[in-house]
Structure 1
Amino acid sequence: MYHPGQILKERYQLEQRLGRTGAGRQTWRAIDQQAAQEPVILKLLAFGDTMQWQDLELFEREAAILKTLDHPRIPRYRDYFSIDRTEANSLPWFALVQDYIPGGSLQERLDQGMHFSQTQVRAIAEQLLGILQYLHELSPPVLHRDLKPSNVILGENDQIFLVDFGAVQNKSAVTGVSFTVVGTSGYTPLEQFYGRAVPASDLYALGATLVHLLTGIPPIELLTPEGKLNLANRVNFDAALLSPGWLQQLMDPTLERRFQSARAALAALQQPTKAVSQPTPVSGKKSGPSHLAQLQQLIQTGQGLERSAISELDDTLRQIDLDWDRELEQKGIINRRDGVFRQGLPSLGMTLATSGMTTIIAVPTALGLYRLKQGKIQGDGVFMTTLGLYGLAALSAFLIGFSLWKIKRYVVYQNRHQRYQDRRSDAFSRFNRL
């Protein structure tokens, strides 16, 4: 166990343990003795039996990505090292060192009963949007995935800093359908629980943070059963500072209706007198069914997922699967016979029709060739033979092209269907473990 005054790596002297951290994690304010006694933040992760590999993966990813970032409102990366097991420490540890930012988190201010004015909230929003714009416009984009009041530091001169990149995701590192569910209930949108975090997911978390600052109420308590934000009689908005429509669009449960970039959200914020228009969903359809909103409500309220909600979700997805199969049948892509799917290549009627056409063309062609061999054919026979050969070639090309087209359609639809089934199964298993 570490204690104040202890020196790590012959360089960092521990001063004060900070915050409430989980088992196997510690955060310390320390002094860098090799850098003019500058204060630093030292985050520690124990490599023990209770630690999961994904914890170490996220910790190493945080260090690797912080090392590449260069923004005045993100604490600068300084060092990363491991601490071997000793008699005093029965476990090996990993350490991440960053600049120390004097100040307190927004969550600490809320816990102290501080009330934020709309002027303050707007200033915080603009500064955080500037940070998110920097992260999201990197190549590849960097997603924070855990923006909330406790991860935002209010420093000197009311400057805002975004900290704790322990859930950060570099989009270039995402492969396959596997994912790690990270985030905090009340600040995490539904798509992030599916492993589909996008820049708009961070914007949802920003909106939830701003709502908490404005009302002093956790955002999960302000959501309707449909997942919409309900600020009625909560805030008397000053249109010159903040718009309820702007906040609604930040926290829209439907991903396609949300602001798609920090740049767009910042531009809309700086024009508060204009109505914030709701973008049309890509699919052109209405928002998802109410059960998804109810599922999101369960997630946001931190109550976990009840078995009934899981069952309802699974039944709905199964129905979508059936609808998909029915669509394939209607399009002639597949045929269902006794529960078995078969390729929908030319049916009996098509086969009979093509067989008849083949006979009509092939018989005169064969007769013409026979008469030509016997030397009994005149000019009209040559013409008939040539016509028959061209017709047979055209018919063959048609049948080959038609069959390839049908096979291609079948493969495309089946691949899409299989990917959807994989996603449904994976999402269901993930929700079961939440």
Structure 2
Amino acid sequence: MTTLCINPDCPEPDNPDDRDRCQGCGARLILGQRFRPVNLLGQGGFGRTVLAWDEAADPPQRCVIKQIVRSRGSREADLAEAQRLADLGQHPQIPQLIAILDSPRDLCLVQSYVAGRNLEEVLQAEGVFDEQQVRLLLLDLLPVLRFIHQRGIIHRDVKPENILLPELGPPILVDFGAARTAPTAAELERTGTVIGSAGYAAPEQALGKAVPASDLYGLGMTCLHLLTAVHPFDLYSVATDRWVWRDFTPQPVGNALGRVLDRLVARSLRSRYDNADAVMADLAPAGIWRPQSSTATRQKSAHAWRCTQVWQTPGRTVNSLALSPDDRAIATGNSDHAVQLWDRKTGEVLHTFSQRFGVGKGHTDAVTAVAFHSAGTHLLTAGQDGLIKQWDLATYRLQQTLRQPGWQITAIALTPDDKTLLTADVEGRIAVWDVASGQRQFDLRRHAGRVNDLVLSPDGTRLASVGEAATVRLWALPTGQLLHTWTAKAPLRAIALSASAPALITGDKVGRVTRWSLLDFTEQVILEQMQDAVSAIALSPDENWLAIGSRDGTIHLWRWSLAERQRVAVLRHDWAISDLVFTANSNLLISAAGDETMRVWQPECS
């Protein structure tokens, strides 16, 4: 390993690793008495980026030094900017600032090292990005730009080379060496320093008047380059004075994303988005997205799944399943009016909540829905008797009973904070309850017929419902505002929600499984046609697996991921599937069916 001298005027910058001073110019090699530069990563007009070792760490850790060669009289301004940048490292998608090294010659920003390829390297290795990848990339990075802009910082060099894809986790925005404080209105009247990369710098930035919208322009140009593999200069027609990027995309881009990209790269500030929130509102009108760790990577091949346990439920059919947060217990709502707690590993029944011959506090009709509190300390149950019951799992005692207006509850959903309970019934009503007080707060606008299933977004701010009237509805919580209604071709029986690739997945009475986009409300795709009605749908917590149960006793298991979305296995019961649930680690699938059994399935290692 050699030690690199970072003196820009050094005639011989490479030195043996046992030297403390440069053999070419005599400058100190170890910066701040701890950082040893070893390799030049990149160089531009504004400075250089160097790979280094932090020898004060135990063991020594790699880090990155951004060397900024300062101009006369800029010391105080550079230091002030560096202190502002230190705050940005609090964001998980921005490298942490380890140290600021000040000298008369330069200012060095030392940041944590991020292993991974930049987007340009991914493009060269794997080819152009598709529309889905670009959408998710935008949704991953726009919150980062919002974060820095809210702190008054403009990056000024957003481009493919400055966006890294680590092996795990969302993209990382790097190289803040060109970043500066957003200008005041008076400062915009004066021409500042021209910083940025050709093709990715917005017109106003090329005039030295960068604003937060200039970063949005750079992100938009990055997306166009990833979609086309063509340099931004070649995507603009001087003859017609417009962008012609659509002529270079190997596959068409949908109108919704196309409009967003056009507005991101609008040359006029009046026509361009002025903040990241406005872009996200157009990209995800449902308000649902979750950063995906595999934005631009290919997924591994799928595994086969096998049944590892069969638990008999003689004399009763399990209508509904729920797993405790720690995966140690399974709750079942049964056709014989009972609720049972099972040991997930052994299949032993731990407790039964029931009412027999008028004795006991259980339900008086079939139990149709069960749900655990987030801490696993309480269980909510509901049934065709129109009652909602809350049980204390430490004492197995009934805590409270609520009555749904009307009768026959079909589904329930509990928000992640355990504060709000949603209940649906056969009359098309969805009631919103305050759990602490047990009071019904209000009802959502009714479906025209029976509501068959409910699903919440991971953050609990969106609710989706399906019913016999063949409608899908999306609601905002806690307000209860109806955001959108879709109409299907047959009564809908089950629903799941994907947050990483925002969509609703529904199954209907005739066996059709449909994906409804939550990024473009006009987009819907038929995933498959099953032999009988769909009776249950479950998406694993990591969103890698989708299980679809049918009345014909089959479970179609799909690999649900960005680059690979296909059916990989068909699992079987002897009778209709009643419910499906994945464990928290997504490694087990538990199914219940009319053959009076529950089964545990797991992937086989390849």
TM-score, normalization by structure 1: 0.54
Cα displacement string for residues 334-379 of structure 1 (whole angstroms, at most 9, x for unaligned residues): xxxxxxxxxxxxxxxxxxxxxxxxxxxxxxxxxxxxxxxxxxxxxx
Provide the residue aligned with 2:141 in structure 1. Answer: 128
Supply the AA of the counterpart residue of 2:279.
A
Once the two structures are TM-superposed, the CA of residue 126 in structure 1 deviates from its matched residue by 0.9
Q: How does 1:83-232 map to 2 (within 5 A)?
A: 92-112=105-125, 114-138=127-151, 141-157=152-168, 159-171=170-182, 176=187, 177-225=190-238, 227-232=241-246
Provide the residue aligned with 2:550 in structure 1. Answer: none
Provide the residue aligned with 1:63 in structure 2. Answer: 82
Residue identity over aligned pairs, in percent, reads 31
Cα displacement string for residues 112-134 of structure 1 (whole angstroms, at most 9, x for unaligned residues): 46332222222211111110111
Supply the AA of the counterpart residue of 1:63.
A
Supply the AA of the counterpart residue of 1:78.
I
Provide the residue aligned with 2:99 in structure 1. Answer: 79
Q: For 2:243, what is the secondary structure of its paired residue? A: coil
In 1, distance between residues paired with 2:210 and 2:47?
27
Q: Which aligned runs of 4 or more in structure 1 are off by greater than 6 angstroms? A: 54-58
Provide the residue aligned with 2:254 in structure 1. Answer: 239
Change in 2 beyond 3 A, CA 1:184/1:25: closer
Q: How many residues align?
A: 261
- The answer as to whether partners of 1:228 and 1:251 remain within 8 angstroms in 2 is no
Provide the residue aligned with 2:60 in structure 1. Answer: 37
Q: For 1:150, what is the secondary structure of its paired residue? A: helix
In 2, distance between residues paired with 1:24 and 1:228?
33
Provide the residue aligned with 1:301 in structure 2. Answer: none
Q: For 2:129, what is the secondary structure of its paired residue? A: coil
Provide the residue aligned with 2:271 in structure 1. Answer: 257
In 2, distance between residues paired with 1:83 and 1:54?
13
| Higher share in strand | 2
Once the two structures are TM-superposed, the CA of residue 55 in structure 1 deviates from its matched residue by 7.8
In 1, distance between residues paired with 2:47 and 2:177?
14
Q: For 1:16, what is the secondary structure of its paired residue? A: strand
| Higher share in helix | 1
- The answer as to whether partners of 1:59 and 1:166 remain within 8 angstroms in 2 is no
Runs of at least 5 residues in structure 1 that lack an aligned partner in the other structure: 85-91, 276-434
Question: Which structure exhibits the higher relative contact order, with contacts defined as CA atoms closer than 8 Å and separated by 6 or more residues?
Answer: 1
Q: For 1:157, what is the secondary structure of its paired residue? A: coil
Once the two structures are TM-superposed, the CA of residue 208 in structure 1 deviates from its matched residue by 0.3
Q: For 1:243, what is the secondary structure of its paired residue? A: helix
Larger Rg: 1
Provide the residue aligned with 2:472 in structure 1. Answer: none
The CA RMSD over aligned residues, in Å, is 3.0
Provide the residue aligned with 1:273 in structure 2. Answer: 520
Q: For 1:53, what is the secondary structure of its paired residue? A: coil
Cα displacement string for residues 155-193 of structure 1 (whole angstroms, at most 9, x for unaligned residues): 122521111112212126785424111112211221223
In 1, distance between residues paired with 2:118 and 2:75?
25
Change in 2 beyond 3 A, CA 1:169/1:23: closer
Cα displacement string for residues 367-412 of structure 1 (whole angstroms, at most 9, x for unaligned residues): xxxxxxxxxxxxxxxxxxxxxxxxxxxxxxxxxxxxxxxxxxxxxx
Q: For 1:221, what is the secondary structure of its paired residue? A: helix
In 2, distance between residues paired with 1:259 and 1:55?
32
Supply the AA of the counterpart residue of 1:68.
D
TM-score, normalization by structure 2: 0.39
Q: For 2:137, what is the secondary structure of its paired residue? A: helix
Supply the AA of the counterpart residue of 2:265.
M
Q: For 1:156, what is the secondary structure of its paired residue? A: coil
- The answer as to whether partners of 1:13 and 1:33 remain within 8 angstroms in 2 is no
Q: For 2:237, what is the secondary structure of its paired residue? A: coil
